[in-house]
Amino acid sequence: MRLVLLGPPGAGKGTQAQRIAARYGIPHVSTGDILRGNVRSGTDLGREAQAYMDRGDLVPDDLVNRMVFDRLGADDARQGFLLDGYPRNVAQAKELDAHLEAEQQSLTAVLRFDVPFDELARRVLGRAAEEGRTDDSEEIVRNRLEVYRTQTAPLETFYGERGLLHAVDAVGSIEDVSARALAVLAGLESRS
């Protein structure tokens, strides 16, 4: 399974990513988590990325692409992986395609987690207090949602045209949403 999860901030992607990755025994590769780890430990990458992250803007593609391809080169990702938060725009998606093609690999599926827009802002702002993320203030949240709409949402068409996109209704309990996502993937497995 080589999976990409798409969904705006607040769609519960991270939680679902962990569950799906555990189910298939594949690494959960979250670019947001890797970037935050770099910021915390003060690496060069973290220093370069921090200002973008604090504004809710995308970190430059070349930094993120390199970081992801490096991670996908690790042994545990050879049989599959789940990308959470990457790609975030069409340029990254094209780079990912080229990278996988060079490795004679391809994506199995892209799952899009759907939540009505007005519920998203509420969910993301609620998370600010819980996790103390510096990019969860109201203005930044609005920017992150806008960045998703303008830069990331076009990936739905990009992957839709390739027949890879599957929508998952992400309203409901964590268990319900997981069950829907796993049902989609089980359907793909039975086809292959």
13 is catalytic: yes
Q: From the CB of 63, what's the least distance to ligand AMP, in Å?
A: 8
88 is catalytic: yes
40 is catalytic: no
CB 124 within 8 A of CB 136: yes
Tell me whether residue 12 or residue 56 sits nearer to ligand AMP (CB atom): 56
11 binds ligand AMP (CB under 6 A): no
Choose, by CB under 6 A, the member of 39, 53, 82, 177 that binds ligand AMP.
53
- Of 85-93, 97-105, 106-114, 117-125, which segment contacts ligand AMP by CB under 6 A? 85-93
Choose, by CB under 6 A, the member of 8, 10, 27, 85 that binds ligand AMP.
85
Q: Which of 29, 28, 91, 83 is nearest to 59 (CA)?
A: 91
71 is catalytic: no
52 binds ligand AMP (CB under 6 A): yes
Q: From the CB of 3, what's the least distance to ligand AMP, in Å?
A: 15
Choose, by CB under 6 A, the member of 5, 6, 39, 64 that binds ligand AMP.
64
Tell me whether residue 19 or residue 188 sits nearer to ligand AMP (CB atom): 19
Helix axes 13-24, 174-191, angle to 10 degrees: 50
162 is catalytic: no
32 binds ligand AMP (CB under 6 A): yes
CA 36 to chain centre: 14
**How many residues does this entry show for the chain?**
192
Give CA separation, 94 vs 65, 90, 155, in Å. 11, 6, 10
Q: Which of 109, 74, 101, 93 is nearest to 186 (CA)?
A: 109
Binding site for ligand AMP (CB under 6 A): 9, 31-32, 35, 52-53, 56-59, 64, 85-88, 92, 135, 144
